[in-house]
Amino acid sequence: MITLKINGETRRFDGDPEMPLLWYLRDLLQLTGTKYGCGRGLCGSCTIHVDGVESRACVTTVGSAEGKNVVTIEGLSRDAQHPVQKAWMDHDVPQCGYCQSGQIMAAASLLKNTPKPSDADIDAAMVGIICRCGTYQRIRQAIKQAAEATV
């Protein structure tokens, strides 16, 4: 039996420990905010936090998350009031929206580790999250606003 904490709630899983955490989150727990994109950890749509570290749920196994604290987009803020989420709304960042939970989780991780990021910091942190709609300028503006709100 694998025990892990997801969005503050202790969960137990008695299936294959090699199952991607993404499938456990989406299919079994119905936490569908974390998206499947490439299945190889390259596009960033499935970005979550594992023990406070930005991680790709499609290449993280349930077994490797045993005993750890997992936060998904649903757990970042129950009422969408996290500074990054508010800035995303203020700047109307999403177009199709598919990558946005991954973008938001990566931005939240950046701001936790670098509270006052430069443009270069933002670019370096966000380069691994692909936005097929190309809203990168709005993403950068939203991150800057969120950084100001968290100071």
Q: What is the pLDDT of residue 150?
A: 73
* pTM recorded for the entire structure: 0.93
Summarize the confidence of residues 22-51 as an average pLDDT.
95
Which tens digits make up the pLDDT trace of 39-54? 999 999 999 999 999 9
Burial tier of 121 (Cβ tally within 10 Å: 0-12, 13-18, 19+): middle
Condensed to tens digits (0 to 9), the pLDDT of residues 52-65 reads 999 999 999 999 99
Residues in the chain: 151
What CATH topology corresponds to 2-76? Ubiquitin-like (UB roll) (3.10.20)
Round to whole Å and give the CA distance between 144 and 140.
6
Looking at residue 151, its pLDDT comes to 58
The pLDDT tens digits of the residues spanning 72-123 come to 999 999 898 899 999 999 999 988 888 899 999 999 999 999 999 999 999 9
Question: pLDDT grade, residue 128 (50/70/90)?
Answer: confident
Helices of type H across 52-135: 73-76, 83-90, 100-113, 119-126
Rg (CA), the chain: 15
pLDDT at res. 85: 94
Beta bridge partners of 9: 6
Residue 78 phi, psi dihedral angles, 5° rounding: -65, -25
User: Would you kindly state where each structural domain of the chain is located, as residue ranges?
Assistant: 2-76, 83-150
Q: Does domain 83-150 have CATH number 1.10.150.120?
A: yes
Residues 39 and 20: their CA atoms lie apart, in Å, by: 9
Question: 47-50 and 69-71: which strand pairing?
Answer: antiparallel
- The residue that leads in pLDDT, 66 or 132, is 66
